[in-house]
Structure 1
């Protein structure tokens, strides 16, 4: 039987001797990205200079590449735009959502949300004053906490620690039933699981592109605005590039049409070139096929690890339909265990206080990879290879 992912594996550079299980934190280098970035730097920036904005079409890249990502997240053409960082996009989405619901003061989130989302919400609500409140509940309590006081529900679909998966459609329907706006963070969803923003009737969505989309460190984020809101939302960050006519140089801001108004600063062209090349890997792949294979890989990994490592406790949901494309185990020396594993060529990552985290990306991972990774992890646990001062010394990035 032909492996549908054999061709995509050849599209990525994985260093010799490495099994890479950290694509949920930073995707590996697509081989085509180097040449594409070189072309952008040398043939476009180098030869065209400032003419590249017109001759190479740089100004349109955020929308064109946004549509490529839109295909992977169930978004209509023209409803996704690239630029800035995920934190900026979270701020934009939440600020716009609150203006759509001016008579309410509660923003609902959960403690499985990535901290930066909560930080951005805290900062925005503090600036607004006026009695705004950020209500943070346990993930399983989100649905029961959606009521008529909620202005906006701001949820990360896949918990960054455990991989727990929220039901986007059900929670969005519940939010809408009480008049709340639904904002979804797709940082651990885009490129990992099938997403249907249109079918789920999501109002806003944001996400990064350096994880499962393999855009490179610091790759630009995206924002989705449902077409029904696109010409009504007011961007709180009224950037020059989001103006209706940037080169009219008006002193007063007029928002551009549709999602274009959510652009803020000058597009990061070199970074967008790398991302554009990375997205080529998705041209012949369906998210349904990715999901089926990622479940197979993660299920095999869980079986292999649990057979070899009784010290580790599964932190992710047992049901594969209830988690994203990652598996996490708890271990009281999780940081040291992960450093020992990395030293043996198997790269995952650690999340405080005790989570060893592994991502499963069929674009470049095989079943042999995950079995071998579990074997090496078993050796580390059996021989206590993690129990050294070197592996217990914390680095800045874990």
Structure 2
């Protein structure tokens, strides 16, 4: 494959700063996992810049598609085509974004990828970021593995951002390696299909690598990154999430990180190859339709259009602790009976339809009443239901039957 290279002007961003450069290929949640990978590879105190999309789906942002710098106030331009999101940045309504809060809680700086100019413009942003960081190397990090999807997987939902990053990196003259963390944890490509593509693990994340993101899960809804943290802390078992159609099994490979060359990743990802010459996001959508048979942005538009305006809700009553705990106990029993051992915070709050006050009350109660919670954080262990005689129900988890 012939590569057209993008080079940044040598005055971009001023003198070299000696930062490591990483790219969170899948969006806002991947910035959390990328911070863990950065900690594992270089140490948490090593200066770094993480490039990421502000593409946080409708659960966070009611506006379909990714956000660009003009959708924020308070960003910091560091090169002609690259802005940093900082703690004082804010999305312009009606858009939403959690990146400013991530900028507050994560040590690496966050650079905003703008995909509206296709792979051509992204390549320019990445090249300028490398000059700003004073490096010729970039680590592309993906949680789950859709960065090496072939486009035909029936569970594939969001391949475009990762593929655009690969296509853009191929247009630079940087040394690029692709790191896949937690194969299968994003629920898009099953682990059994990924492992033959990825080869042996390069390294394994440990509990120490998760300390760099401890504060984030008090408020961030990312489920794939939460599963990766739990796997790195040694949690094993069937996990129920809100965003994935099927439970995820945390097993021996779930904390692994696999390393691929850029050429290998491009060979595995036909969408990335199709995006090589794109110059706008509309062209990237067309490439996704041709390769994968769908556009995730079009799907977001459809879902957003179905959200009909409603009358303002009546003020919710204050949380009733007894009722709240009873509702949770019934839900916990029914969920555990389906063979699920752990759940995410998002699954608890959304399936119980909790208000923020109710969620805060319940999670405070669970934090002090679940003795094995610290080892499982940021997941919540479910108590096994008991048989009528008081004996534990020994039925095997659903995935084992």
TM-score, with structure 2 as normaliser: 0.30
State the structure with bigger RCO (CA 8 A, min sep 6), 1 or 2.
Answer: 1
